[in-house]
Structure 1
Amino acid sequence: MRDLTVYSMLAEQAEKSPDSSALLVGGRDYSRALLFDTVRSVAAGLRELGLDRGDRVALIANNRFESAACWLGINAAGMIDVPINSEARGAHLQYLIQDAAPRLLIGQPEYLRMLAPLLPTPPERVVVIDPDGGEPPFGTEVPHLSYAELLEVGRDGFVTPPRNDEHATMIYTSGTTGPSKGVLLPQAYYLTWARRGIEGMRMQPGETVYTPEPLFHSDARAYLIGALLAGGRLALGQRFSVSGFWDEVRAADASYFSYLGTMLSLLYAAPEREDDSANPAVLGVGGAAPAAIHEAFERRFGVRLLEMYGMTEALGITTNTLDDSRVGSVGKPVPELEVQLVDADDLPVPVGEIGELVLRPREPGTIMSGYWNKPEATLAAWRNLWFHTGDRMRADEDGFLYYVGRLKDSIRRRGENVSAWEVELAMGRHPHVLEAAAIGVPSALGEEDVAALVVPREGCVIEPEELHIFLRADLPRYAVPRYIEVVESLPKTPTERVNKDLVRARGLTDRAWDAEPGGRARASR
């Protein structure tokens, strides 16, 4: 396994089972042979265009076959793919691309056109997935190729496979006290966690995993690699839909599905149907399942839920298993990692007490290599030879871990980490805002909703609805505050910083504006 790469695995499977389905997307099956040939053509095409090993290539597209082929092709060429959240907007999107500084952009025309005016310096080249016949997104001075042309350029090219210790991917994760950080992941990363996942699921050859999660997250990527390793296929949904979820599971004949806690809440809140349990799925795997509905969800839909915990920096840190699980727990540490709960001095805490979860790998390729262009952040995370997750947990006598909350200033909304710092930065750009604080408040769907408390400048009036519209230009949809409350002042520390602990303790009042019609503000924890 140590010498195996994703590329060599794809090549081996294409030779042994060329006609076997690897990926189902948009109602079409794509064989292992077609996937490998396309990945090889992408890789060779990028090299023919003059890109080198280690170069960064940004990818912004929806869930589709081309997205998977481009990601895998970039990695096969020994380059670093940078998946960009398709909901990124404005200043946040601009920061991501400028920080990554890719030599080449690959994307759908609507996203490339949104990005083009934000960049003072255009990329060297652009590859357009499914061109719409309009003007080139970056104008005539930048070379544009279609996805089909890229494949043709690399059709007869040669690919030198990457090494397992080379960088494969850079995924941006939410910042806490600063901007988002690019997490550098090695080639071995996907294989390590894919193997762990399929062993936990006990996936068999010929079976299907369904996920509606986006390919710009590491979860969906690991499910694809895992399905291939197991001799099965991945059914890739376009996006999560309450009304369409179970129909897509049935259409794919999927034995397994991935979930985020919010998805389960929404599915459970839907009106009950006689055929709720009439689906081929036997197991759902994911994180943040609300303990209050866990067992009732299993009974209603006739499935088993397997709760785990991970992050971009280390995808599978703890997990329940089919033989050893506990509702409300994120499970026990996986064998690939050494895990502890520690206090503020990095000393282990007694069983039952709350501590920060820290970890270190037992084998190479299991966690991130570091943060791109942020050596200080990398060193800060790796204190005393342990990687600090920033998550607080407690352990019981049997070794099961229970998630308590974040140490850092981060908000968890519908499977996305929202940086309070980035929300506050966006609010500060509004001419009427003097200062602002973003916090998470409990959501009826599980996890949190984003709330903002804002102080107007002297003589100015802040209209929450207008501020909400203003923020949508610079923030991803999931990061735009649902609640906005205008206040006279915010509590401060002795050094005149906003005291976020006191802001959270204050929470929201009935004066808070709610972006959802008919909604009511909820008090924070």
Structure 2
Amino acid sequence: MNLFDGLERNARNNPNKTALIFNETSYTYELFNEEANRVAHGLLSYGIKKGDKVAIMMKNSDQFAFVFYGILKAGAVAVPINFRLTAHEVNYILNDSDSLIIFADEDLSETVKKAAEGNDKLLLQVISGTTKQPNQLLLSQFRSFNTVNPDVGVVEEDDCEILYTSGTTGLPKGVVFDHHRILHVGFGMIMTMKIAQDDHLLHIAPLFHSAQLNLFLVTGTFLGCQQVIRQDFHPVQTLKDIDQYKISLFFGVPTMYNFLLQVPNREQYDLTSIKRCGYGAAPMPVSLLQKSMDLFGTDQFFNMCGLTEGGPGGVFLMPDEHKMKLGASGRASHLTDARVVDENGEDVRPGQVGEFIIKTESLMKEYYKKPEETRKTLKNGWLYTGDLATMDEDRFITLVDRKKDMIISGGENVYSTEVEQTIYKHPAVLEAAVIGVPHEVWGETVAAVVVAKPGQQIDHEELQQFCRQELAGYKIPRIIYEMDQLPRNPSGKVLKYQLRDKYKELATK
């Protein structure tokens, strides 16, 4: 079995069923499969072989789905890239992943062109749209006329995805998955959230994220669900879509729920088709959770606490568990084992803080070309997440801190070390520490605490513009504080918890 078997099966058995809706254009499962085949044959005609890497830097769209499945059908490995990244950041991922071809949206063609400079491995830049840069090819020209299923012979053990996630070093790491692992992500969703063929799904979170891609698009396509894709999240449009297309399962980050609650006259939309709601990527305040339940008229909310390296996988807080364990992250679902351990890998006592580790069939295969990082993270079949947590007597896990000092702003992960490395390049900066501070809309926002070099002054707006040259917009520090020196422990490590405590009060005033 492989990830596209379900697409081909639905194209045979339910050819006329609506598969995708994008910008009011509908595609049946037969047409969806044919469009993916056209991309696959295009890749094969350019010499792409099983195991070759092909990047996708596209916003949510019908074309994203066609390209993603076309890559899989050609036996290649899909490398989704965050479309918000700068050319500098994309250049690193293209080189590190050994990508041979990149598909990108028309408005990203200039970024891709710059990112490809000096890359001898990249053979082709394919642009979805009507205009392109020199030496690029339009997707309409790239696609083959052949709509027959390719006969490549893809099996479960073949690699299918490399998803990039920043690490504590600040450099992104490629998380490798094969078809077997991502199939089990879908099996877990079918068992836990009871996704079925008659569900109507709405994709508004970015498809380059493992959550929206693997939990929902792959699972929904495998089952034969009707799926609506939106390029961006717009609160009013989301409510309209739920009403018009009778969406039955909704997934969003807490910030999205917050924006939906701000829509005037939201009661005019019929949201009764919603039967289940999932939230994740960031903590959801209790008050926001209750208001969201009132909005959708259901208490069937699932807290999904996972990580990319898990497929994503982790723990769930089920709807009935919200009543007695509200505030907990959840506990292991059907196909997952979860523990909280000390530095020796031994289970800690209930209530004691330790490291959250998981074991499941959907765990990553490895970090691409990083054997030492892989050995540190995968031990005896367990994934060591780097997150600090407690487990109670009922085996409910609650995350209490993040070893990696990760910041979650509007559902996007920001790693402090990556931002710090850019700030340290500024000629006026002596020291820098990046932390997350509370924000009423985004959950957290990025703040930088900086120390100026002797005789230098730091212009805050100029520093932000400096960062923008190398970092995506959501990683730019929105708040900048200055100190004479950073607090450190005897070994010289910056005490970030002291900075968070010091500045969280100021941020909320």
So what's the TM-score if we normalise by structure 1? 0.89
What aligned pairs does 1:36-115 form with structure 2 within 5 A after superposition?
36-115=33-112
Matched, 1:26 2:28: no
Q: Which amino acid aligns with 1:300?
A: L
- Superposed displacement of residue 497, structure 1: 4.2
User: Structure 1: which 5+ runs fail to align?
Assistant: 511-520
CA–CA distance in structure 2, aligned partners of residues 286 and 434 of structure 1 = 40
Q: Where do 1:372-391 residues align within 5 Å?
A: 372-383=368-379, 385-391=381-387
Which runs of structure 2 are paired with 1:236-385 in the superposition (5 Å)?
236-271=229-264, 273-275=266-268, 278-287=271-280, 288-303=283-298, 304-314=300-310, 315-322=312-319, 324-325=321-322, 326-361=325-360, 363=361, 366-383=362-379, 385=381
Contact 2:191 2:334 in 1 (8 A): no
Q: Deviations over 1:422-462 (max 9, x none)?
A: 10111122222222110111222364211101122222211
How far is the alpha carbon of 1:421 from its aligned partner? 0.8
Aligned match for 1:203, one of 195, 198, 213:
195
How many angstroms apart in 2 are the aligned matches of 1:420 and 1:156? 47
**Deviation of 1:46 (Å):** 0.8
Q: Does 1:459 align with 2:452?
A: no
Distance 1:278 1:160, change over 3 A: closer
Q: Report deviation, 1:170.
A: 0.6
CA contact 2:48–2:74 (8 Å) conserved in 1: no
Q: 1:51 to 1:496 in 2, by over 3 A?
A: same
User: Which residue of 2 is the match for residue 516 of structure 1?
Assistant: none
Amino acid in the other structure paired with 1:298? M
Tell me how far apart the structure 2 counterparts of residues 148 and 31 of structure 1 sit (CA, whole Å).
20
Paired residue secondary structure (1:24): strand
| Worse-superposed segment, 278-287 or 5-14 | 278-287
Structure 1 CA distance, aligned partners of 2:296 and 2:254?
A: 15
Q: In the TM superposition, what is the alpha-carbon distance from 1:301 to its structure 2 partner?
A: 2.9
Q: Does structure 1 retain, via aligned residues, the 8 Å contact 2:41–2:144?
A: no
> What corresponds to 2:10 in structure 1?
13
Change (3 A) 1:75 1:344: same
Cα pair 2:130 2:138 within 8 Å, conserved: yes
* 1:247-291 deviation digits (Å, cap 9, x = unpaired): 222222201111112222333355564336644222211223322
1:25 CA displacement: 1.6
Q: Corresponding residue for 2:170?
A: 178
Structure 1, residues 169-209: CA drift from partner, whole Å, max 9, x if none?
A: 11111222331111111112332122222333333433301
**Which of 406, 429, 435 matches 1:433?**
429
C-alpha deviation, 1:509, in angstroms: 7.7
Q: CA deviation at 1:323?
A: 5.2
Letter in 1 for 2:488: K
CA contact (8 A) 1:339 1:359 kept: yes
**Runs of 4+ with deviation above 6 angstroms:** none
| The 10-residue stretch of structure 1 (32-41 or 185-194) with the greater mean CA deviation from structure 2 | 185-194
1:185–1:368 Cα contact (<8 Å) kept: yes
Deviation at 1:71, TM superposition (A): 1.0
Give the Å deviation of 1:168: 0.5
- Aligned to 2:59, the other structure's residue is in SS state coil
**What amino acid is the match of 2:474?**
Y
Letter in 2 for 1:443: H
- CA drift of 1:313 comes to 1.0
Q: Distance in 2 between matches of 1:384 and 1:475?
A: 36
CA contact (8 A) 1:340 1:358 kept: yes
d(CA) in 2 for partners of 1:157, 1:188? 20
More helix per residue? 2
Question: Aligned to 1:392, which of 388, 399, 405?
Answer: 388
Matches within 5 A, 1:439-450: 439-445=435-441, 447-450=443-446
Instruction: Tell me, in whole angstroms, the C-alpha distance in 2 between the residues paired with 1:177 and 1:409.
Output: 11
Cα displacement (A) at 1:475: 1.1
Question: Residues 522 and 321 (structure 1 numbering): CA distance in 2 closer, same or farther, change over 3 Å?
Answer: closer
Question: Does the residue aligned with 1:184 lie in a helix, a strand or coil?
Answer: strand
How many angstroms apart in 2 are the aligned matches of 1:509 and 1:311?
A: 29
| 1:219 positional shift | 1.6
Correspondence for 1:515: none
Q: 1:235 aligns with which of 228, 240, 243?
A: 228
- After superposition, the Cα gap between the structure-2 partners of 1:239 and 1:333, relative to the gap in structure 1 and judged at 3 Å, is same
Q: Match of 2:296, as an amino acid?
A: F
Distance in 1, matches of 2:387 and 2:22, equals 35
Using the alignment, how far apart are the partners of 1:299 and 1:195 within structure 2? Answer: 30
Name structure 2 gaps, 5 residues minimum: none
Alignment-mate amino acid for residue 345 of structure 1: N
CA contact (8 A) 1:393 1:401 kept: yes
* Partner SS, residue 274 of structure 1: helix
Distance of 1:273 and 1:12 partners within structure 2: 39
- Is 1:503 matched up with 2:496? no
- 1:497 & 1:228 partners in 2: Cα distance? 47
Structure 1 residue identity aligned to 2:285 = P
Q: Distance in 1 between matches of 2:345 and 2:71?
A: 39
Deviations 1:466-517 (A, max 9, x none): 211221221112211111112222123434443334433433685xxxxxxx
Q: Is the 8 A contact 1:210 1:256 kept in 2?
A: yes
Give the letter aligned to residue 11 of structure 1.
E
How big is each residue's C-alpha offset from its partner over 1:54-83, in whole Å with a ceiling of 9 and x where there is no partner? Answer: 111111111111111111111121211111
- Which of 405, 421, 432 is equivalent to 2:401? 405
What does residue 124 of structure 1 align with?
123
Q: Is the 8 A contact 2:301 2:319 kept in 1?
A: no
- Of 477-486 and 390-399, more deviation after overlay is shown by 390-399
Using the size of structure 2 for normalisation, the TM-score is: 0.92
Amino acid in the other structure paired with 1:487: M
Question: What percent identity do the matched residue pairs reach?
Answer: 29
Letter in 1 for 2:192: G
C-alpha distance in 1 between matches for 2:270 and 2:296: 4
Give, in whole Å, the separation in 2 of the partners of 1:360 and 1:205.
28
Aligned to 2:484, the other structure's residue is in SS state: coil
**RMSD value, Cα:** 2.3
Residue 254 of structure 2 aligns with an amino acid whose one-letter code is: G
